[in-house]
Amino acid sequence: MIGDSPSIILAMQSGMSFNDFFWMQGRLGIFFAVELGTIGAFFVLWLYFRKYHQPPAEIKIAPPKTWIPATLMLLMVLSLATSSFIHQKPQYTVAFICLFWALIGLAWHELKHRESISLVKNLDWQTFFFLIGIFILVGSLTFSGVVDDIAKYISSLTGNNIFFAFMLIVWVSVVISAFVDNIPYTIAMIPVAKIVAANLGVSMYPFLFGLLIGTCLGGNITPIGASCNVVTVGMLKKYGYSVKFSEFVKIGLPFTLIAVSLGSLFIWWVWLR
């Protein structure tokens, strides 16, 4: 539940707890679907990289200067997991937890006078404004009713075919998430998945799991498909390593196709067959 932002968003909007991602309503949760997809994707990476035989360069790992940031991160993770079991909690509990530990970290940094941080120079402003623009765009689509129109169109297109509807949500999410950040897309598509499931008279949870598989794994296709991709490519660029769009897709596309196929079929088999 706390492994990715879309997972947290889904849990908050559907009332799921930390354990529901492992075991829910007497069935295996999405955790096992993702792990199965990971095993398949591993072999894709192995097939691609097995041609490189040169020994790896020797890397000298410097000892950590302090364990305080890692400790704060661990406490934040435990706080997020624990908060999922609290009913009737404020809407922005997750955000408050993250901000609380962030403030603790900043206070520790200032008191100890560690390495100086300049928000103006060190912050990745390109990524910052890119994500802001995406959130505004998706918010506009939701407010204008486009999201509801998408749900109606999917329902009319699939009819009463549950398998087709499920796979359509999964693979449409894969395609769109390859070019649109998965966080705002997840926010926009959660109500769509719920409406489609209700129209078909089935549980919303397998459709939400399918949506999550499509959005999170689909973002691996391109360097702009997920926030972590954008940030990583931006960091590499700062250090003089340019990652071409085609180079990223060459690895990301087969990786994603295998992972999504195995994960979505697992959800279908466990929840909807």
Q: What is the pLDDT of residues 85-141, one digit of tens each?
A: 777 777 778 788 889 998 998 888 777 765 666 656 666 676 677 667 766 776 777
Max Cα distance, the chain (Å):
63
| pLDDT tens per residue, range 247-258 | 888 888 999 999
CA distance 154 to 141: 16
Per-residue pLDDT, 120: 60
Per-residue pLDDT, 146: 73
Residue 222: exposure state from Cβ atoms within 10 A (0-12, 13-18, ≥19): buried
Per-residue pLDDT, 2: 79
Amino acid letter for position 197: A
Instruction: Identify the DSSP state of 27.
Output: E
CA distance 183 to 177: 9
Per-residue pLDDT, 237: 83
Mean pLDDT, all residues of the chain: 83
CA distance 162 to 144: 28
Assigned token pair, 60? 């000298």
pLDDT band at 184 (very low <50, low <70, confident <90, very high): confident
Q: Are 225 and 182 in contact (CB under 8 A)?
A: yes
Assigned token pair, 142? 């939701």
Residue 181 has pLDDT above 80, yes or no: no
Q: Exposed e or buried b for every residue in 39-51, given b needs 16+ CB within 10 A? A: ebbeebeeeeeee
Per-residue pLDDT, 107: 86
Q: What share of the chain has pLDDT > 90, as a percent?
A: 19
| pLDDT tens per residue, range 22-74 | 988 889 989 999 999 999 999 988 988 888 777 766 767 788 888 888 999 99
If one counts every other C-beta atom within 10 angstroms of the C-beta of residue 144, the result is 10
Assigned token pair, 222? 């391109």
Q: What share of the chain has pLDDT > 70, as a percent?
A: 90
pTM higher than 0.85, yes or no?
no
